[in-house]
Structure 1
Amino acid sequence: MPQRSAADVMVERLEAWGVPRVFGYSGDGINTFMGALRRAGTVDFVQARHEENAAFMAAGHAKYTGTVGVVTSTQGPGAIHLLNGLYDAKLDGAPVVALVGQQSRSVLGSGYMQEIDLALLMRDVACYRQQVDSAEALPMAMDRAFKAALTHRGPAVVIVPHDVQKLPAAELEHEHGILVTSPQWRPSTALPQAADLQAAADVLNAGHRIALLVGQGARGAAQQVEAVAERLGAGIATSLLGKPFVDERLPYAAGTMGHLGTGASGKLLGNCDTLLIIGSKDPWTEFYPPPGSARAVQIDANPAAIGIRYPVEAGLAGDAAPTLEALLPLLSGTPDAAWQDRVGQWVEDWRGLSERRAMTPASPINPERVLHELSGRFPQDARLAVDVGSCVYWYARQLVLPRGVQAHLSGTLASMGCSIPYALAAKLDRPAAPVIAVSGDGALQMAGLSELITVARLWRQWADPRFVICVLNNRELAEVTWEQREMEGEPRFDASQAIPEFDYAGYARLLGLEGMRVDDPEQVGPAWERALAAERPFLLDFVTDPEVPLLPPFPAGKEKAEDMQEALGEEGGSGRHASRLLEQYVRQEEQG
């Protein structure tokens, strides 16, 4: 039997931390570790088509499970490719550990092939980074990486030179200079001080028009959020990342805030006199109440996050659920009936407007309708992965998730190409539950098409084969096109914005999956039903209209619409269809 190597110790440490799978791509700098994975057979290896996608998978695993996602790559280009997915994990607070190979220590500093300074490369993205130069240091470095990733909610990087992986496993003696660590970590429960709770309660009890802004920091606190909202008679808006953690069927749930958000959220935040921010650092500050118009309380597990988006009068450093539990008895519970009625009316008006927009004729399919039709058909036990682009707007505005459904996207980095890797991570974690991925054609061409090969490779292993890919095929980088019109006053630039035609459904069938092209609005609902009942992964290629406007909520959206129309005027005849749709959307908004 071969002698245990340092690479075997790496696998044993993964086992000790309860890691079920490692995402990645092989290469000479990490091949000794690959051999150890093969010999052990206890930790699955998931081969992505590209290291960036592997890092997205690790970030997705962390987001869906709350546990550490692990990714591996070789040195040089493999390590560089990891960066985008690692930054996604950093900016969205997802714990990830990257195990990165490196050239042997004997050649470092020589300008050797594929030699780059990996510690420097990872300096900004990693909450912990360490090159391991001895077998004795390896268990300690891996333990530190897992603890740092979980504590700081971000990526940690362990760099292991090729020759170190080959070293004999070290027997850690009880002597100076040798650290024996343990693979143990437990979360702490943070609670604010009593005086801070009372100060927050005083602000909230004095309010009459109260709004809650709920972010992903409220994960696991849905019941407490609802209880506080009902006690205060408050309306609830969410950040994009907070959307899955509030039941949007509630009569006072105004939906997602911000540029891509709902009109109801804009009215709620624009008219409140008191704001309670729960676990959110949403950057759309122009959609917050004007500073000085609302007194504010903020709850966040990270004390450094309090007051960084909006002036706060009372800050509560603590985890959302126990902090809200402690706050609730201090709230007087004298809601303003008139405010409740106004909030309820805004929510009702928005729901009517969103349905009218979904059914607004377009050429050929309005993309809002695609997500609207999914809303009533979304399986209770499914998970959702959403890509970046115009599809995020329709997700935020049209899709009402069943209570408890997990939905994730690259929220803060906003990186295209995340949806299929995320969906694969979600499916591998729970292969007996359906998964739905929503992507634009630009994002799918950027990264998703290659990972459909991975889907085709793996799906027969899944207890429930339902894996539905929705492609909003508008032949356009639509979000950027509308950003050019809105923010730059520039007409559409065909060379930068047009996306090549591609037979997405045919490609899926070529891979042994099912695929269907849909260009009739009346077939959108039946197409969803067919895909959600399929016995293998199913790609829905919805041919949608790129000229459906990405109009921000009013009143902010009115000025933006004028800028859009000015840019569309420069497009001449090609912009007339978009201009008519924009006029129609503005009228719908003004009429409520």
Structure 2
Amino acid sequence: MAKTIGDYVLQRLREWDVDHVFGYPGDGINGILAAFGRADNEPRFVQSRHEEMSAFQAVGYAKFSGKVGVCMATSGPGAIHLLNGLYDAKLDHVPVVAIVGQTARSAMGGHYQQEVDLQSLFKDVASDYIVEVNVSTQLPNALDRAIRTAEARRSPTAVIIPSDLQEQEYEPPEHEFKQVPSSPPSVSHSVVIPPDDEIAAAAEVLNAGEKVAILIGQGARNAAEEVRQVAEATGAGVAKALLGKDVLPDDLSYVTGAIGLLGTRPSYEMMRDCDTLLIVGSNLPYAQFLPEFGQARAVQIDLDGTLIGMRYPTEVNLVGEAKATLRAMLSQLEPKADRSWRETIESNVASWWETMEQQAMVEAHLVNPIRVVHELSARIPDDAIVTADSGSSTNWYARNLKFRGRMRGSLSGTLATMGPGVPYAIGAKFAHPERPVIALEGDGSMQMNGMAELLTIARYQDLWEDRRLVVCVFHNNDLNQVTWELRAMGGAPKFEESQTIPDFSYAEMARMAGLEGIRVESPDELGAAWDRALAADRPVVLDVVCDPEIPPIPPHATFDQIKSTTEALLKGDPNAWRIMVQGAKTKLQEAMPGR
């Protein structure tokens, strides 16, 4: 039987070592779907409940595997549904390839059913590479270049294949004019190191500093040991952008935790008081959380030269791979004899963790959401993977979850979209079926995207060596982060019609889907519930009924934010008095640590 173009697409993906394709079927990709059947489902087609979830699953898989994620959708509506997940990949610099169908070539331009101008649709999100394949001989180069570009640029790319072409016989390109061959699949990972004089200039800046601060992002992930050595030599503290939360463990005494809107007080104080700043692999957009302009001499290291010097007036910019660049710099660093700056940082960090425990123990209506993550921190396996969604629960992930050991974690860092927590977790399980995975979900995100994907979890759980996948739902019947943003930034009381969401039993739905469901309504039940979930022999939904009035107020809240919140409450916000009491009790733990 002759090989079709659909057959060749899967053959080439196998040659690229692609094990999974996250997708949803439709007649625009029927030719490729039939090829999956002929290929005994290799690579495996992972069926989500919605194409957006397929894209998120591919992003999660890529983030946690280090490989290219591949998603697939039909023409028209299916391709449109991929966009949010692909933008998540674009903004977080994640390699994902989207393979999408298109109307038959004979019908293009005829206002045919599901005909959408896909090249225009994808030209921004897949700006690094998008191609429509219209003849067989075009395919190898097109697919190879999409994968190579996604790898090299750490970005999403798109390959559009019309439906009629998928079923035609595959003919390779020939050695003739206007045909483009392609070499066998392989990726070259070159190591980029800045010139010696630039590294020496950076070392001079760090050696001259008396109060050195380090900010790391996901670009420092392969350089964790080098970051530690630089921090030891310079006496620096290390703050982490959210996408870099898993680069260094939080049990290091000088790691100050998250920075930015969801950051910690030690990170805020370190940036406020430092005289020297080293940024490694981070493009944190919130310049207001960095030192005042002119206060600190600064050095930045990033593999992408287009992202250098964008957030702070850096004095030395090093375009290079983090690990190799820091190694080259280490021999030129002069160990700091005066450790008073480091001792101040360590004292602040120790005090902060005491405060976090006290805040977690503040009494609340039903369950204090901070305590949910506090109890997890005491129990989480050292090899766990954690995914977080966007919402007020993200605050507790950022500030309260202590990373240690081999733990990994991620979220929609730059797009900050709602809904990727559960599909990220599914992608993580396919990337590492031998490791436990935990998704921290607000109930708004759960209702938006997570609930249907419980069926996907139930369907594929038997494929995972370690079946533990815990979806923890912060159940407060409120779109809580936006509610607090309305209060703190707009001075507006909670608008019930937009903010209150329907009550629902997520534990009961889990049981209906064939998973284990655990409902928690008391803080005294939390520890045992986490123990049960983490020891289960199947995926679990932990449905924790939380108090929506525990404020996610950052430790560096401005006077204007506090003033706006107070004005909002005085304008008739529901439960205004209890909100003020809970807020006062929580913030008092920061003002009076140890009390």
TM-score range, shorter chain: over 0.9
Task: State the partner residue of 2:18.
Answer: 19
1:477 matched to 2:479? The reply is yes
**Does 76-85 or 335-344 show the bigger shift?**
335-344
Compute the displacement of 1:180 (Å).
Answer: 1.4
Q: Residue 575 of structure 2 aligns to a residue in which SS? A: helix
Distance 1:144 1:8 in 2: 19
Contact 1:105 1:163 in 2 (8 A): yes
**Does 77-86 or 535-544 show the bigger shift?**
535-544
**Does 77-86 or 329-338 show the bigger shift?**
329-338
Distance 1:355 1:408 in 2: 23
Q: Residue 314 of structure 2 aligns to a residue in which SS? A: coil
Listed one character per residue, the Cα deviations across residues 246-277 of structure 1 (whole Å, up to 9, x for unaligned) are 11111111100011111111101111010000
Task: State the partner residue of 2:322.
Answer: 320
Distance 1:290 1:328 in 2: 27
Contact 1:505 1:515 in 2 (8 A): yes
Task: State the partner residue of 1:265.
Answer: 267
Distance 2:424 2:80 in 1: 20
Count of matched residue positions in the alignment of Structure 1 and Structure 2: 590
Task: State the partner residue of 1:30.
Answer: 29
Distance 1:158 1:99 in 2: 5
**Does 43-52 or 182-191 show the bigger shift?**
182-191
Task: State the partner residue of 1:50.
Answer: 50
1:122 matched to 2:139? The reply is no
1:533 matched to 2:535? The reply is yes
Aligned partner letter, 1:441? D
Task: State the partner residue of 2:490.
Answer: 488
2:192 is matched with which residue: 190, 193, 204?
Answer: 190
Task: State the partner residue of 2:206.
Answer: 204
Task: State the partner residue of 1:365.
Answer: 367
Task: State the partner residue of 2:469.
Answer: 467
Aligned partner letter, 2:34? G
Distance 2:555 2:124 in 1: 35
Q: Residue 330 of structure 1 aligns to a residue in which SS? A: coil
Compute the displacement of 1:186 (Å).
Answer: 1.2
Compute the displacement of 1:348 (Å).
Answer: 1.2
Q: Residue 277 of structure 1 aligns to a residue in which SS? A: strand
Distance 1:454 1:50 in 2: 10
Q: Residue 372 of structure 1 aligns to a residue in which SS? A: helix
Task: State the partner residue of 1:106.
Answer: 106
Distance 1:310 1:385 in 2: 29
Listed one character per residue, the Cα deviations across residues 112-165 of structure 1 (whole Å, up to 9, x for unaligned) are 111010000001000210000100001110001001100110100000001111
Listed one character per residue, the Cα deviations across residues 300-347 of structure 1 (whole Å, up to 9, x for unaligned) are 001111110111001111111111100111111125322112111111
Structure 2 counterparts to residues 74-89 of structure 1, below 5 A: 74-89=74-89
Aligned partner letter, 2:577? R
1:424 is matched with which residue: 416, 426, 430?
Answer: 426
Listed one character per residue, the Cα deviations across residues 183-230 of structure 1 (whole Å, up to 9, x for unaligned) are 222111110111110111111111001100010000111110000000
Q: Residue 245 of structure 1 aligns to a residue in which SS? A: coil
Task: State the partner residue of 2:64.
Answer: 64
Listed one character per residue, the Cα deviations across residues 513-553 of structure 1 (whole Å, up to 9, x for unaligned) are 11011011011111000011111111110010111111112
Task: State the partner residue of 1:501.
Answer: 503
Distance 1:38 1:221 in 2: 42
Compute the displacement of 1:405 (Å).
Answer: 1.1
Compute the displacement of 1:558 (Å).
Answer: 4.4
Aligned partner letter, 1:343? I
Which segments of structure 1 move beyond 6 Å, counting only runs of 4 or more? none
1:545 is matched with which residue: 534, 540, 547?
Answer: 547
Distance 1:536 1:405 in 2: 20
Distance 2:514 2:22 in 1: 23
Task: State the partner residue of 1:5.
Answer: 4
Unaligned segments of structure 1, at least 5 residues: none
Compute the displacement of 1:571 (Å).
Answer: 2.4
Distance 1:186 1:571 in 2: 61
Aligned partner letter, 1:133? N
Contact 1:231 1:335 in 2 (8 A): no
Compute the displacement of 1:437 (Å).
Answer: 0.9
Task: State the partner residue of 2:292.
Answer: 290
Change (3 A) 1:335 1:308: farther
Contact 2:494 2:573 in 1 (8 A): no
Task: State the partner residue of 1:177.
Answer: 178
Change (3 A) 1:22 1:328: same
Distance 1:7 1:340 in 2: 59
Compute the displacement of 1:459 (Å).
Answer: 1.1
Listed one character per residue, the Cα deviations across residues 229-248 of structure 1 (whole Å, up to 9, x for unaligned) are 00000011010111100111
2:448 is matched with which residue: 446, 449, 454?
Answer: 446
Aligned partner letter, 1:566? E
Aligned partner letter, 1:406? R
Aligned partner letter, 1:389? G
Compute the displacement of 1:588 (Å).
Answer: 2.5
**Does 235-244 or 178-187 show the bigger shift?**
178-187
Distance 2:586 2:467 in 1: 39
Q: Residue 247 of structure 1 aligns to a residue in which SS? A: coil
Task: State the partner residue of 1:308.
Answer: 310
Listed one character per residue, the Cα deviations across residues 489-521 of structure 1 (whole Å, up to 9, x for unaligned) are 111100010011001000101111110110110
Q: Residue 499 of structure 1 aligns to a residue in which SS? A: coil
Task: State the partner residue of 1:146.
Answer: 147
Distance 1:172 1:498 in 2: 58
Listed one character per residue, the Cα deviations across residues 402-455 of structure 1 (whole Å, up to 9, x for unaligned) are 222111111111111101111111112222221111100000000000000111
Aligned CA RMSD, in angstroms, stands at 1.1
Distance 1:243 1:222 in 2: 11
Distance 1:589 1:464 in 2: 39
Contact 1:68 1:149 in 2 (8 A): yes
Task: State the partner residue of 1:239.
Answer: 241
Distance 1:335 1:130 in 2: 57
Task: State the partner residue of 1:162.
Answer: 163
Distance 2:288 2:51 in 1: 36
Contact 2:21 2:70 in 1 (8 A): yes
Contact 2:362 2:586 in 1 (8 A): no
Distance 1:242 1:252 in 2: 16
Q: Residue 428 of structure 1 aligns to a residue in which SS? A: helix
Aligned partner letter, 1:80? I
Q: Residue 21 of structure 2 aligns to a residue in which SS? A: strand
Contact 1:558 1:586 in 2 (8 A): no
Distance 1:523 1:171 in 2: 63
Distance 1:18 1:337 in 2: 49
Task: State the partner residue of 1:226.
Answer: 228
Distance 2:207 2:572 in 1: 53
Compute the displacement of 1:474 (Å).
Answer: 0.7
> TM-score, length-normalised on structure 1?
0.98
Distance 1:304 1:204 in 2: 23
Distance 1:414 1:403 in 2: 26
> TM-score, length-normalised on structure 2?
0.98
Q: Residue 263 of structure 2 aligns to a residue in which SS? A: coil
Distance 2:573 2:27 in 1: 56
Q: Residue 506 of structure 1 aligns to a residue in which SS? A: helix
**Does 42-51 or 337-346 show the bigger shift?**
337-346
Contact 1:378 1:402 in 2 (8 A): no
Contact 1:77 1:114 in 2 (8 A): yes
Aligned partner letter, 1:87? Y
Unaligned segments of structure 2, at least 5 residues: none
Contact 2:467 2:537 in 1 (8 A): yes
